[in-house]
Amino acid sequence: MKLSNYTKEFGTNLRLAYPVIVGMLGHTVVQLIDNIMVGQLGTAELAAVSLGNSFVFVAMSLGIGFSTAITPMIAESFGAKNHNKVRHIFVHGLILCFGLGLILALLVLWAQPLLSQMGQPQEVVALSKPYLFWVALSLLPLVGFQGLRQFAEGLFQTRLAMYATLLGNVINVLLNYLLIFGLYGFPELGVEGAALGTLFSRWAMVLFMAINVKNKKSFKRYNRKLLRVKLRKSLFKRIISLGFPSALQMFFEVTFFTSAIWMSGMLGKNPQAANQISLNLTSMTYMVALGLGVTAMIRVGNEKGRQDFISLRRVAISTFFLVFLMSSLFCLFFVLTHDLLPWLYLDGNATEISSDVLTVVEIASDLILIAAFFQIADGLQAVVLGALRGIQDVIIPAFLIFISYGAIGFPISFYLGLKTEWGASGIWMGLLTGLTLSALLLLLRFQYLSQKLDS
């Protein structure tokens, strides 16, 4: 097939993807804002945000990963023009998401004492405890928001979540500004103020989505008499059967990166702060890949509902090409700017820059350079995974991700990071290995399944 058959899909892919990318970036920008503002307080405070978020990220991965089961089910039913089924999936999915958000919040609060038993710097642990408490509570609105978001995106309505996230960011910036530094009569809460800003901004996002889903014309046929929808055990089981492996996929990946936070903390507060800077930057580029992954999931799911498997393969491969091109640009950007980017997070205008700040910048520059070379693998594996979710293939991909990250990538990170002089750079070499293997295995899996469907 000619290359133009794939590139002609770029316009449709980008129109669907850009609101998702902006929305996804919104979650990361919340962390970026927290990191930049908290970083002005000191390296220990920045490390505390990193440690607190490491617990929340693991729980968040389960909630967001689970919610992704809703989109391909909605997209397939919408493609088959089964609007009653769309309505039932929406109600059942929303109940499961809010229920799971509550459970995850309670589990993180229950696990809070583990902060003191992980070999982390005590100064960092003391600062992270109040931060973790409030951010843990924000898991309930976050996962509930995902339920509303995945429903809308399954119907090709990708802009709504973008607007909600932009609103959440505005509220988060404002509250951070007031509560971290104690301005205009507000209490000076430091790290804890950043967490409260996150909590209130996420509830605002849920409220915005709920109002729009209720009132927007394109959703009217699906949101009438929701309380009269008869709950069916079989549909709950179907969503869970797809959502649980999807949650495991994201859990394995996030835990893989979270382990880098914990291991870098065992090396000291400066490697942990440097790890947080690099992780936050790479998370932002990863959101672009995730947005394209959602596009692949929506379009592949829709083609599956229409039983058009030739188009299914074409639109999926077009997203692979697109993410390859964009990830290559990110790779080049990181290579050219790896020495400059760490200064975004730290105060370089002081008369005398502390040795801690200089050490963090040096370590972070090395990590960003390593991150440059896993941009392509990270982008590809995210988009291929979205295409596989679109055809509702979730169990085998979860196993492949576990092998790549848990069985191969993590041991390499542990050995090079903690048993050699490579330190934090060794940890990230393990990340590079795991991501590259994951991208290769998932590509082979999609190639096998798509050819099987097309035959």
Sign of CA dihedral 58, 61, 63, 66: negative
For residue 248, report the phi and psi dihedrals to the nearest 5 degrees. Answer: -65, -40
Place of tokens 């940890």: 427
- Torsion-angle region of 306 (φ positive above 0: left; ψ -120 to 50: alpha; else: beta): alpha
Amino acid at 428: W
* Helix/strand/coil percentages in the chain, nearest 5: 85, 0, 15
The DSSP output letter for 137 is: H
Place of tokens 């990361």: 28
> Residue 149: how many CA atoms within 13 Å on its side-chain side?
30
pLDDT, block means (10 residues), the chain with 455 residues: 77 81 70 68 69 74 81 78 79 86 88 68 72 86 88 80 85 82 76 83 92 81 71 85 82 80 82 83 85 86 80 88 93 93 73 73 91 91 90 88 91 92 91 93 92 73
Q: Which two tokens stand for residue 440?
A: 């290769």
pLDDT at 427: 92
Separation of alpha carbons 287 and 454, rounded Å: 30
Cβ-based burial of 422 (10 A; exposed 0-12, middle 13-18, buried ≥19): middle
Cα Rg of the chain (Å, integer): 21
Are the CB atoms for 16 and 315 separated by under 8 Å? no
pLDDT at 347: 63
**Residues whose CB falls within 8 Å of the CB of residue 404, separated by 6 or more in sequence, listed in order:** 434, 435, 437, 438, 441
pLDDT at 352: 55
pLDDT at 27: 64
Sign of CA dihedral 356, 253, 72, 4: positive
